[in-house]
Amino acid sequence: MYFTLRRSSLWACNTVTTERVKGEHPRLNRDLVLDTAAELVKQQGVEALTMRKLAAELGTAVTSIYWHVGNRESLLTELVARTVAELGEIRPRGRTPRDRIVSLARTLRRELRAHPHLVALVHERGRTEQMFQPVAQALVHEVHAAGLRGARAAQAVRAVQFQVVGFVVLERYRERAPVQRPGEQELWDADTAGQDPALARALAAEVDVDRLFAASARALVDGLLGPA
């Protein structure tokens, strides 16, 4: 049997928030709803963010939430915007523009991976664009410093953004799905790999995503800027 938690029974349940458990219930407002929703997502993932669970967490009726945030869609949108704003500022490191661009890529990836709930949120809402934002300014600056101009510079900025975000999204997928890739082996043994056992071995092994990313980012930037 399903029932919504009443405010008065909040103490009895496995609540997510810690600060609010023992005190009085403050008046419900938009910020409180959003904070609680964010906490829920952070601790139990986006799929746990249902209007009913959120209401239980807040100790209110489900319908009260609607008065403050409209509906689930706009709640998620607001949550994404907030989390993006919370991302640390991304500052480049390294001597050459080339190094600094690679460092920006690496830092953006680290930052996004440190907020997996954000990626999941964006995932769910289809607003990947927002994940591009944090490095935008810095990338423009560095690409310009590297000597690229006009449309070509813009394209380089976008290429790096797409690579990083695409990579992070793919990584998240891989983490969700269990390993199971049956029959992949046979693809490699046939032709070329037979002559190159080290290649065959490398392809059979688990992907080292950190190294793969580092190599990809470096290669892309090298390709974009031309030989040093």
- Residue 49's SS3 state is coil
Residue 44 is a binding residue for DNA (CB under 7 A): no
- List of residues 6+ apart from 198 with CB closer than 8 A: none
Which of the listed partners (a second copy, DNA, none) does 91 bind, with a CB threshold of 5 to 8 Å by partner kind? Answer: none
Nearer to a second copy, 95 or 149 (CB): 149
Let me know how long the chain is.
Answer: 228
In the chain the first and final C-alpha atoms are separated, in Å, by 67
Q: How far is the CB of 74 from DNA (least distance, A)?
A: 8
In sign, the C-alpha dihedral spanning 110, 113, 117, 118 is positive
Residue 110 is a binding residue for DNA (CB under 7 A): no
Which of the listed partners (a second copy, DNA, none) does 114 bind, with a CB threshold of 5 to 8 Å by partner kind? Answer: none
Using CA atoms, how far residue 66 sits from 29, 55, 59, 63, in Å, is 11, 10, 14, 5
Nearer to a second copy, 60 or 130 (CB): 130
Nearer to a second copy, 12 or 190 (CB): 190
Which of the listed partners (DNA, a second copy, none) does 12 bind, with a CB threshold of 5 to 8 Å by partner kind? Answer: none
Applying CB under 8 A, the residues found at the interface with a second copy are 122, 125-130, 133, 136-137, 140-141, 144, 149-151, 153-155, 157-159, 162-163, 165-167, 169-170, 173-174, 176-177, 181, 184, 187-188, 190-193, 195-196, 198-199, 202-203, 207, 211-212, 215-216, 218-224, 227
Residue 27 is a binding residue for DNA (CB under 7 A): yes
Residue 121 is a binding residue for DNA (CB under 7 A): no
- Residue 88's SS3 state is coil
Q: How far is the CB of 63 from DNA (least distance, A)?
A: 3
Tokens for 217, please give them: 């980012």
Report the C-alpha gap between 21 and 165 in whole angstroms: 37
Report the C-alpha gap between 5 and 57 in whole angstroms: 8
Report the C-alpha gap between 16 and 20 in whole angstroms: 10
Which of the listed partners (a second copy, DNA, none) does 71 bind, with a CB threshold of 5 to 8 Å by partner kind? Answer: DNA
Please choose, from the candidates 57, 68, 49, 40, the residue with its C-alpha nearest in 3D space to the C-alpha of residue 4. Answer: 57
Site for DNA in 48-107 (CB under 7 A): 49-53, 60-64, 66-68, 71-73
